[in-house]
A and B are shown apart, each in its own frame.
Chain A
Amino acid sequence: QVHLVESGGGLVKPGGSLTLSCAASGISFSANYMGWIRQPPGKGLEWVSYISDSGTATFYGDSVGGRFTISRDNAKKSLYLEMKSLRVEDTAVYYCARDVGVGGAFHMWGQGTMVTVSS
């Protein structure tokens, strides 16, 4: 079965850190770019970060650049998002997603993991 499963979400205080993981199964993980997209409660989608198939190229949204780091381990079929200096406005459901192969459209999404930043 084809799956993307996120984990690592939770409650963290402002200024704190958290690392999200995304485990892939049933797919050729190393062949596709991957990304993180987030959705604050009751709001729309925000593109967060994107990584090449090899992991050598990474891209970030304006609001997270310098604080978040995306990485991947193709041998473990896993994607990561290390989040530092967290802010209240980082509160959201975080989805990992797989690029369909066209350079940025995502055809496979996980169920999401909730990150809440609050004192």
Chain B
Amino acid sequence: DIVMTQSPDSLAVSLGERATINCKSSQSILYLSNSKNYLAWYQQKPGQSPKLLMYWASTRESGVPDRFSGSGSVTDFTLTISSLQAEDVAVYYCQQYYSTPHTFGQGTKLEI
């Protein structure tokens, strides 16, 4: 199974500042035939279901603010929030869907 490891486990960022969350896969999740990285990012606010932010590592889901961006390739990925807003307080998860089981990272708790 592919192991997904996020860092840090928790992060405190001031309003308006940049937040960066990292995700590392134990093996490549880049499918060479289509040059796509099989990685998604989710946001889960307290008491809510997860919400998809990104897929293909850097494609923003419809309706997601453009202050959220995804980058990286092969085994190392980053979710960046360019200017933190109060409503961004949440736990963030990465997930690989390159091979089953489609494992999740352990989560990163983002606080103000």
Contact = CB atoms under 8 A, between A and B. Distances in A.
Interface of A: 35, 37, 44-47, 50, 59-62, 95, 100, 102-107, 109-112
Interface in B57-74: 61
A54 B91 CA distance: 33
Interface stretch (B10-18, B20-28, B48-56, B76-84): B48-56
Given A44-B107, A47-B102, A103-B97, A109 B49 contact: yes
Contact of A105 (B40, B101, B106): B40
B55 A95 contact: no
Interface residues of B, number: 24
Contacts, number: 64
B52 A105 contact: yes
B102 A50 contact: yes
Interface of B: 1, 38, 40, 42, 44, 49-52, 55-56, 61, 91, 93, 95, 97, 100-107
A46 B107 CA distance: 11
A106 B1 contact: no
A102 B106 contact: no
Given A45-B107, A100-B61, A105-B55, A62 B101 contact: yes
A44 to B, nearest CB: 4
B38 A103 contact: yes
A1 B112 CA distance: 34
A45 B100 contact: no
Nearest to A102: B55
Nearest to B6: A44
Given A45-B93, A47-B95, A104 B102 contact: yes
A48 to B, nearest CB: 9
Contacts of A62: 1, 101
B101 A47 contact: yes
